[in-house]
Amino acid sequence: MNRRFVFYGKMIIIGFLITTAKGCTLSKSVWDTRGWTQYEPELGEDGLIIQQTFNGLAAIKIGDKWGYIDAWGRIVIEPEFDGASNFSDGMAAVNKRGKWGYINPKGDIIIPLQYSLAYDFSAERAVVKIADKWGIIDKKGWFVIPADYDAIRNSGEGFVVVRNGGKWGIFNNKGWPIILPRFDAIGDFLDGQTTVLIDGKWGIINKEGQILVKPQFDDIRVFQEGRAAVQNQGLWGFIDSKGSLVISTQFSNVRNFKQGLAAIEQNDKWGFIDLEGWPVIPPQFDITLDFHEDVAGVYNGNKWGFINKDGYVFINFRYDQIGNFRNGKALVEFNQEWYQVDKQGNLTYQP
């Protein structure tokens, strides 16, 4: 069998094979990222699965074993594993006979196959499972957070949340406990803060574990631009950094403040309020995006357009899909073609 698979640059060229119940092979072409046919695999009755390439190598399954190929399609690590993940931080998780460990790009086993589950490395840390407990290891295989926990997940900004006995706590990525498990739930960190749940009520803590907002709300979001969205009895409002309710709970939905304005929903229509709660743009749109570069995308139930901070529709409703403005331009779809539009409404074709 010709075991060569073709890539374009560092992006995997996709190919796959289906073997029918009668053993007949239906092969599909291998394409590059531009859709050009590069290779018609002649694989007999072997199964072929190619994952997306990372760091120049991609996991590939031939028959029932996994190995790795480089960006030229050459096999660099022979298929010998029962499972394999992509390379991340220079290491990949691999499985043999139900146990996971880690290899380097040469195929050398760096961390022995000893875990019941193992996830990709990120920032030189990986989540692993031994029996029914979870922990975190470094790239030498040493436990940074011991495998003593019922659940564990990354929480952003270098923090990890762990669960034991139904309660959640927080560690930093060096393995130091910030808060031992005592919360019913913990959100993800953003700007050094996260949401926590105690006895059915949500509050906010900072990265040192200090309570910024006492748990007292049915739902809450972290502070942005000095305001945090809070919900009680199904309605949303905003509190200030002292925890005082400065915009009463009156909206069916809200989003965080961006560029001094927050999107709010009332009676199934969206508009915007300022930091004091004034309806700068009354609810009138079916959907809105947040403001970026003083412009927000809005949807009228049929097409998308753009408004400024006065609510003036300065780019008319004509687009099927849009993105936010970046560096003076936004992606838009018009007549099934993609363009860039500037703030004067001029279109540039986007191939």
Q: Taking a C-beta distance cutoff of 8 angstroms, is the pair 318, 311 a contact?
A: no
344 φ, ψ to 5°? -100, 0
Residue 338, burial from CB neighbour count under 10 angstroms (0-12, 13-18, 19+): middle
Q: Taking a C-beta distance cutoff of 8 angstroms, is the pair 29, 37 a contact?
A: yes
Residue 318 to residues 8, 289, 330, 345, Cα–Cα distance (Å): 36, 16, 14, 11
Nearest to 178 by CA among 211, 148, 133: 211
111 φ, ψ to 5°? -120, 120
Beta strands 321-322; 329-334: pairing state? antiparallel
Beta strands 269-273; 281-285: pairing state? antiparallel
**For residues 342 and 177, what is the distance between their CA atoms, to the nearest angstrom?**
49
Look at the chain and count its residues: 351
Cα torsion angle, 283, 284, 289, 292, sign:
negative
Query: What pLDDT sits at residue 162?
Result: 97
Query: What pLDDT sits at residue 173?
Result: 86
Residue 228 to residues 49, 192, 213, 239, 246, Cα–Cα distance (Å): 46, 14, 10, 5, 10
Would the pTM of this model clear 0.85, i.e. be above it? Answer: no
Quick one: DSSP state of residue 97?
T
**For residues 19 and 8, what is the distance between their CA atoms, to the nearest angstrom?**
27
Query: What pLDDT sits at residue 350?
Result: 81
Count of Cβ atoms closer than 10 Å to residue 149 Cβ: 22
Q: 98-124 b/e with 16+ CB inside 10 Å = b?
A: ebbbbbebeeeeebebebbebbbbeee
**For residues 165 and 181, what is the distance between their CA atoms, to the nearest angstrom?**
8
Per-residue pLDDT of the chain (351 residues; tens, 9 = 90+): 344 333 333 333 333 332 222 232 223 333 333 333 333 333 334 444 555 545 679 999 999 999 999 888 899 999 999 999 999 999 999 999 999 999 999 999 999 999 999 999 999 999 999 999 999 999 999 999 999 999 999 999 999 999 999 999 999 989 999 999 999 999 999 999 999 999 999 999 999 999 999 999 999 999 999 999 999 999 999 999 999 999 999 999 999 999 999 999 999 999 999 999 999 999 999 999 999 999 999 999 999 999 999 999 999 999 999 999 999 999 999 999 999 999 999 999 987
**For residues 72 and 10, what is the distance between their CA atoms, to the nearest angstrom?**
9
Long-range contacts of 150-157 (CB under 8 A, 24+ apart): 152/127, 153/127, 154/122, 154/127, 155/186, 155/187, 155/188, 155/189, 155/194, 156/188, 156/189, 156/190, 157/189, 157/190, 157/192, 157/207
Q: Which residues contact 213 (CB under 8 A, 6 or more apart)?
A: 203, 204, 220, 228, 239, 243
Retrieve residue 137's tokens.
């290891």
Listing DSSP states for 307-341 in one string gives E-TT--EEEEEEESEE---BTTEEEEEETTEEEEE
Nearest to 133 by CA among 114, 151, 113: 151
Retrieve residue 279's tokens.
């309806």
Q: Which residues contact 11 (CB under 8 A, 6 or more apart)?
A: 32, 33, 52, 53
Domain boundaries, the chain: 1-81
Query: What pLDDT sits at residue 71?
Result: 81
224 φ, ψ to 5°? -140, 125
